[in-house]
Amino acid sequence: MEKYFESTDKSFNDYDNKKELMELNNLGYCYQYGIEKKKDGFKAFKLYLKAAEGGNSDAQNNLGYCYQNGIGVTKDKKKAFECYLKAANEDDLHAQYNLGICYQNGIGINKDNKKAFEWYLKSAKGEYSPAQNILGNFYQNEIGMEKDLEQEKAFELYKIAAEKDHYMSQCNLGILYENGNGTEKDLKQASFEYLKKSAEKGYSDAQFELGYYYYYGIGTKKDLSMAVYWFSKAAENGCKTALHNLGECYELGNGVDKNEIKAFEYYKKSAKYGDMDAKFILGYCYVNGIGTEINKEKGFKLYDEAAGNSDYKEYEEEIVDNLDEVKYWYQKAAKNDNKYALYKLGEFYQYGNGVGQNEMRAFVFYKKSADQGFIDAQYKLGDIYSKGTEIEINKEKAFELYELAAEGGNVNAQRSLASLYEKGEGTEQSKEKAIYWYEKAIENGCPKSQGLLNVLTQ
């Protein structure tokens, strides 16, 4: 490395050949990032400028980055765009990608998703992995498209970039495998493994997803301590959603010693970042003294914020007469479609806790929560369809909901799904699938399933 510096660290003279221009650009990079040189943004900028003036497209791209971020020069987004454009027109793949970012986000130019797509496409055709990843995102979400595009194209692009070890693409590919978008659904071999690869490279989104997989036993054996490990990693790397999950783990003692003070702190951090569910639970902590001193005034204020100050005129008299303070505020939050509150309200009405027992009203609240993807509500709704008194029994609907909740990791749904497969209710009878789901339920801590499995396999 010293020899390299001896050959390139010279005054700003004219550089005539491509090798010298490349070395000049590389030296600028060393000054920019402090690689065996004292970090110096101004020197980096000057070196990039000299190399760019000589026609080096890498330096032209780096010059754009300096203008965009104010490295060694006053920030100037318009000049950044011009530098990227010049380098992109010289077929610099990184510059083409950066130009796409400029068009997508309105950096130095008006936003234009169609042009962003065009530049990402040029870069992706040159096998530049970040462009392949973001182009996959464009296809997946139909950004800048004039017509509907199928998920297969997104899958292809993510896979190409993922195989080059691009961590974001590995995460995105894992999610496509998880949902069966653009490919066959594959939770174990594909989704879990790609998420793991991405998570191990430090990508917080993948770390959160991997924690979720371990928490619910999706694509792998349920392991709450590993869930806490990956949620913690995700939180350390800036994933705000993971803070809420860590709060829940500490509150319930899942994968870690129960610690309500830590739970409260995590909920507090999550609420600070605008997580409405965490804000609601934080209010509950204040009202009930969970991990903190009781402060009902603060708790009710947080409930109010979580509810979005919504009206609750419907059923107001019943609410005030029949619900205690906590349940009253559950009702208010539910008016803003808070999925956790909706689920709790379903429980109040199903079991008659503080209100008159009313399966129909429980059904309404569970459905609203289930429609937002709340797994426990999906199970409860399936149960009502399977055994309901006021709601007409519908085993096919029950099967669909149990399957959703079971795949999401709800142990009761796994047991119930196994039972439907065993009896052939709501689906074709399958002893093999019944055994599979009983075993999943046993793995996830349902001893009752062991007895049912023993009877089935006798």
**CA 293 to the chain's CA centroid:** 33
Question: Is 125 a residue whose pLDDT tops 70?
Answer: yes
Question: Is 387 a residue whose pLDDT tops 60?
Answer: yes
Question: Is 307 a residue whose pLDDT tops 80?
Answer: no
Cα dihedral value 224, 175, 201, 247, nearest 10: -40
Q: What is the mean pLDDT of residues 201-226?
A: 91
pLDDT tier at 177 (50, 70, 90 boundaries)? Answer: confident
Question: Is 367 a residue whose pLDDT tops 80?
Answer: yes
Sequence letter at residue 370: A
- The gap between the terminal CA atoms of the chain, to the nearest Å, is 72
Kindly report the backbone phi and psi dihedral angles of residue 220, in degrees, each rounded to the nearest multiple of 5, phi listed first: -160, 170
Cα 323–Cα 328–Cα 333 angle in degrees, nearest 5: 150
Question: Is 41 a residue whose pLDDT tops 90?
Answer: yes
Question: Is 202 a residue whose pLDDT tops 90?
Answer: yes
Question: Is 393 a residue whose pLDDT tops 50?
Answer: yes
Cα dihedral value 247, 248, 254, 260, nearest 10: 60
In percent, how much of the chain has pLDDT > 90?
Answer: 43
DSSP string for 340-400: HHHHHHHHHHHHTSSS---HHHHHHHHHHHHHTT-HHHHHHHHHHHHH-SSSPP-HHHHHH
- Mean pLDDT is highest, among 23-37, 144-158, 383-397, for 23-37
Mean pLDDT of the chain: 83
pLDDT tier at 355 (50, 70, 90 boundaries)? Answer: low
What pLDDT score was predicted for residue 143?
Answer: 57
What pLDDT score was predicted for residue 308?
Answer: 59
pLDDT tier at 74 (50, 70, 90 boundaries)? Answer: very high
Domains present along the chain, CATH in parentheses: 1-126 (1.25.40.10)
Say which residue, 205 or 296, is predicted with more confidence.
Answer: 205
What's the per-residue H, E or C state across 287-343?
HHCCCCCCCHHHHHHHHHHHHCCCCCCCCHHHHHHHCCHHHHHHHHHHCCCCHHHHH
Question: Is 248 a residue whose pLDDT tops 70?
Answer: yes
212 vs 269: CA distance, rounded Å = 19
Within 8 A by CB and 6+ apart from 430, the residues are 421, 424
What pLDDT score was predicted for residue 148?
Answer: 40
- Mean pLDDT is highest, among 125-129, 149-153, 385-389, 420-424, for 420-424
370 vs 367: CA distance, rounded Å = 5
Q: What is the mean pLDDT of residues 7-26?
A: 67
What pLDDT score was predicted for residue 326?
Answer: 57
163 vs 295: CA distance, rounded Å = 53
Cα 81–Cα 86–Cα 92 angle in degrees, nearest 5: 105
Lowest mean pLDDT among 6-10, 89-93, 348-352: 6-10
Q: What is the mean pLDDT of residues 316-330?
A: 48
Say which residue, 71 or 216, is predicted with more confidence.
Answer: 71
How many CA within 13 A on the CB side of residue 436? 10
What pLDDT score was predicted for residue 318?
Answer: 42
Q: What is the mean pLDDT of residues 67-84?
A: 94
Helix, strand, coil tally for the chain in percent (to 5): 70, 0, 30
pLDDT tier at 336 (50, 70, 90 boundaries)? Answer: low
What pLDDT score was predicted for residue 72?
Answer: 94
What pLDDT score was predicted for residue 434?
Answer: 93
263 vs 251: CA distance, rounded Å = 5
What pLDDT score was predicted for residue 130?
Answer: 85
- Mean pLDDT is highest, among 178-187, 297-306, 409-418, for 409-418
Angle subtended by helix axes 224-236 and 241-252, to nearest 10: 140
Whole-prediction pTM value? 0.55
Question: Is 222 a residue whose pLDDT tops 80?
Answer: yes
Cα dihedral value 237, 243, 246, 250, nearest 10: 130
Report the candidate in 168, 99, 179 with the shortest Cα–Cα distance to residue 129. Answer: 168
282 vs 299: CA distance, rounded Å = 7
